[in-house]
Amino acid sequence: MLLALLMCYAGFTALCLSTDRHHDELLHSKPSPRRRLGLRIAGWLVLTVSIWPAVAVAGWGLGLVQWCAVLMFSALLLVLLLPYRPRLALILAGLGVLVSPVAAFATL
């Protein structure tokens, strides 16, 4: 479930950065249309692929339920961090991307 959590958080962060307001707040610049589109595609792709580790660990019946819980938890974490600790939200997403390969090998 750790891999699904890391992927969901990274996906939601990418979707968050695809908006002008959050991109400016976190990275102090406006995103170009190409970057905005790339972040949206990457965010939705990572969120879609995050179903795989949940289903691989627990099967379709329980895996989808656990994936929904991880999806809600990662969104809640990002929503709670953005107003108070925006830099921490961005750092956690970066760390999540770096730790994801280790979590992928741990599930095998």
Q: Which residue, chain included where needed, has tokens 């795989």?
A: 52
Global pTM reads 0.92
Residue ranges of the domains in the chain? 2-107
Per residue of the chain (108 residues), what is the pLDDT tens digit?
899 999 999 999 999 999 999 999 889 999 999 999 999 999 999 999 999 999 998 899 999 999 999 999 999 999 999 999 999 999 999 999 999 889 888 876
